[in-house]
Chain A
Amino acid sequence: LAAVDRDVCLELAELARLRLGDDEVDALARQLARIVGYLEQLQQVDVQGVPEHSSTLSTAPLRADRAGLSLERARVLAGVPDAQDGQVRVPRFVEE
């Protein structure tokens, strides 16, 4: 079974887009290792032939795919941290 140490913790943080401070990493790695140790008890359960749970998945038929106005653009953009000319503005994400 995979365990959690400092390196795994940093890898998880990168996957989750969380920048961790040096002071946070050690404590988090310790806590996660302890919690994962507790979760390992699931390995003792016999799940042979048992399907994954599904009763909370939607069984409703899909609604008709019709174009319509749900929210006006201006109202949505009013809650966006940075918008310009009716669009969301973000920092550069393509290298020159």
Chain B
Amino acid sequence: VTVTPGEIVALPSRELAARVRAGELAARDVIAAHAGRIELVDAQIGAFVRTTFERAHARAETIDRGARTGALCGVPFGLKDLFVTEGVETTAGSRILAGWIPPYQGGQMARLAAAGGVLVGKLALDEFAMGSSSENTPFRAVRNPWALDHVAGGSSGGSAAAVAAGMVPLALGTDTGGSIRQPASLCGVVGIKPTYGRVTRHGMVAFASSLDQAGPIARDVRDAALALGVLAGHDPLDATSLEVPVPDLLAACERGCAGLRVGVHRRALDSDGVDAEVASAFAAALDVLARGGATLVDVELPHAERGIACYYVLCTAEAASNLARYDGVRYGARVEGESLVATYEATRAAGFGAEVKRRILLGTFVLRKDSYAEYYGRAQRVRTLVARDYDEAFARCDVIASPTSPVPGFRMGERTADPLAMYLADVFTVGANLAGLPAISIPCGHSRAVASRPALPIGLQLVGPRLGEEVVLAAAAAHEDATAWHRARPPEVAT
């Protein structure tokens, strides 16, 4: 039976892997089909910052010659360019790392490759993952496959757009305050941020170390579960990696949602920042879960409204500290000055973009002696309160549901002049990072096309208790099994 390239790029990861393992599909045909798709559509979208087709073809040949094993056998994937890849340029979306060829393999790349996955390229992002639209970049901004004049979200915008446009069935993103879930929502795909410590951070360029977590973006919940199962597990090279067993995440997808208690923080939905179509798609998603046998319960997260302020104090403080290492001495580009300090200053001035500079300065402000107690110290205490709110809510429910993003999307350039407006995009997502909890975004609707706005995907977020990936996936898969949103494909980039 001949399978056409168009049929291949429509298959989920688990189906591709099963067919390659069984010898029904050649890995080289799988890679060729996806490379062809990338060459056909990425000029419109800008998801990839570089492709690695030559290496990918060589890997596929090796698989076809006999290494037909692994959960991701022959599955092409893309990595956000925040993930270190040995021998493949890694820039974190910044000029300051331009030309840097990592001398070691990152933990995420190593695990995906060991499971038979094949890297086909590195994906675009906001510089150092700082942004919510993938427009903070010295390179090319990413376009939303559903509406090319709209943003793909961020900071893992390239990852979400590549999956949405059928260029890869699987991509990795990173999520510090919503950077997997928000672009997944805006692009109509599935993205999961695991429990803090579930997936190694070894080989992930650090932005805010107490919040950063890697996770998969895929077209459906089971593919995300499959990839998370590959990525999860203790790594001695990350001191915050948890030594806990990894459950069977694919099996968790078959549990259904009967008997689950789904918590809803109603007060957050009443804020005027929530788009009416997002609110009605969210209400419909709750109905789907209720019809599946879930019980809806009201919960309170009293400090949720302080989440954005708390998050931006802490993430900028950690960023200011983490990004001190880019000094023109150790990696990437250097702008030579007349002294060492002048070299640092000139290199960082030329190497960092506007948003990165803003965050470094803000982080320096909240950490300096005069403001430390009232900003950084206080935000650390508020973070404790946010985490306690979730603990108390999870005494009454199994998962907490909300929209992922308060709006379906926004136009390119619409928020770039107003950093604070961009920060507010993260209102529903930062809580899970502050509390270290697992959270998923799945497609749950589309806005109607009107004169002022095209039809855009809308996402449902489900947050679980610490190490509760199974219950999150069970609820997400139950919603997916009862709906067809995940099967919709963007019309403008269809084959």
Contact = CB atoms under 8 A, between A and B. Distances in A.
B341 interface: yes
B444 to A, nearest CB: 29
Contacts of B472: none
B349 A19 contact: yes
Nearest to A80: B330
Contacts of B236: 63
Interface in B327-359: 327-334, 336-346, 348-349, 352, 354, 357-358
30 contacts: A12-B368, A17-B324, A17-B348, A18-B361, A19-B349, A31-B419, A34-B420, A35-B312, A35-B419, A38-B308, A42-B313, A45-B303, A45-B306, A45-B378, A45-B385, A47-B378, A52-B380, A53-B384, A55-B436, A56-B436, A75-B103, A75-B104, A79-B100, A81-B329, A81-B331, A81-B332, A81-B334, A90-B340, A91-B343, A93-B340
Contacts of A16: 320, 324, 348, 360-361, 364
Interface of B: 100-104, 196-197, 210-211, 236, 239-241, 243, 303, 306, 308-310, 312-313, 320, 324, 327-334, 336-346, 348-349, 352, 354, 357-358, 360-362, 364-366, 368, 370-371, 374-375, 377-385, 387, 419-420, 423, 434, 436
Contacts of A42: 306, 309-310, 313, 374-375, 378-379, 382
B54 to A, nearest CB: 21
A20 B329 CA distance: 20
Contacts of B362: 32, 35-36
B306 A41 contact: yes
Contacts of A67: none
A83 to B, nearest CB: 10
Contact of A52 (B313, B330, B366, B384): B384
Q: DSSP majority for the A interface?
A: loop
Contacts of A78: 101, 103
A53 B422 CA distance: 26
A39 B420 CA distance: 10
Contacts of A55: 196, 387, 436
Given A1-B374, A79-B332, 9 more contacts: A12-B364, A19-B345, A35-B358, A42-B309, A42-B375, A43-B374, A45-B306, A45-B385, A80-B330
A94 to B, nearest CB: 9
Nearest to B197: A56
A1 B378 CA distance: 13
B243 A60 contact: yes
Contacts of B375: 39, 42
A53 B365 contact: no
Contacts of B337: 91
Contacts, number: 170
A38 B358 contact: no
Given A52-B377, A90-B329, A17 B104 contact: no
A14 B310 CA distance: 25
Interface of A: 1-2, 4, 8-9, 12-13, 15-21, 24, 28, 31-32, 34-36, 38-39, 41-43, 45, 47, 50-53, 55-58, 60, 63, 71, 75-76, 78-82, 88, 90-93
Contacts of B419: 31, 35
Contacts of B381: 45, 47, 50-53
A75 B331 CA distance: 12
Contact of B357 (A4, A18, A53, A82): A18
Nearest to A20: B349
Contacts of A35: 312, 358, 362, 419-420, 423
Given A17-B344, A79-B100, A93 B365 contact: no
Contact of A93 (B102, B339, B380, B434): B339
Contacts of B338: 91
Contact of A39 (B309, B345, B348, B358): B309
Contacts of B333: 81
A79 B436 contact: no
B341 A93 contact: yes
A48 B235 CA distance: 37
A28 B419 CA distance: 11
Contacts of A4: 365
Contacts of A28: 357-358, 361
A51 B378 contact: no
